[in-house]
Amino acid sequence: MPRLNLEGTSSIITGGASGIGLAAARQLAAAGSHVVIADRKDEGQAVASELGGIFVKCDVTSTEDADAAIAAASELGPLRALVNSAGIGWAGRTVARNGEPFDLDAFRKVVEINLVGSFNMLSRAAAAMAKTDPVDDDGQRGAIVNMASCAAFDGQIGQCAYSASKGGIVGMTLPIARDLSSVGVRVNTIAPGLIDTPIYGRGEKADEFKAHLGESVLFPKRLGDGEELAFMVMDLITNPYMNAETVRVDGGIRMPPK
């Protein structure tokens, strides 16, 4: 069975203006897919222009924005891939050192964007994929890749909201894959470890901090690169037998409490 051919198809990448999403968008475009960069950052326009795609300003928690991204993709070609890479973090202990509980609105916001936003984009994209013609005798119509985190399994002190949101993504992978099996859409999740993205900043101090973090990785002893995550994104999209799986891409790290 050949890999899923992305030539002439369309793909949506949330959070595609930077980091892991940008790396995935570049590889999808290189594979011949017309990419839709769905991001809140205006920098997505330059990325879309570079890759010959389209930028749609998108709040992943909005059904209207999700539908706009899907409509834009469907104009470019049959929608075959969604990469859910948009997300935020919010550090804070369940009870802070001053005795105050974690802000509930902050907790809700992290879960809303990371988990609910991923489901919003996923469910609506899958509905669009279900309306396309199958690409093979198996009835395959598309593939979805969600982005969780190793924090879903070994979340550190201060990651209560982030770990909850990413754990939810891991938990919904199998039942959603089962739901979508009837329409020929595969669903997989990646759980990245420590990845070198703009969140760490730039400059000498940032480089020193990242080098220190890299020492805790089993091998290789460094932070991962967005391109390395994108390699796995492409494998999960194009391998027709990958389904309902959560794959850690983390250099073998197991996070300590702090």
Distance CA 222, CA 212 (A): 9
Nearest to 149 by CA among 95, 110, 105, 120: 110
Nearest to 143 by CA among 240, 32, 16: 240
Cis peptide bond prior to 220, omega within 30° of 0:
yes
- Name the active-site residue from 162, 163, 165, 180: 162
Q: How far is CA 242 from CA 24, 28, 178, 251, in A?
A: 18, 17, 13, 21
Distance CA 234, CA 28 (A): 7
Backbone angles phi, psi at 128, to 5 degrees: -70, -40
Distance CA 150, CA 163 (A): 9
Distance CA 13, CA 37 (A): 5
Active site (annotated) includes residue 162: yes
**Angle CA(176)–CA(179)–CA(184) in degrees, nearest 5?**
105
Kindly state the tokens that stand for 69. Answer: 């991204």
Q: 190: which strand partners?
A: 147, 247
Catalytic positions: 162
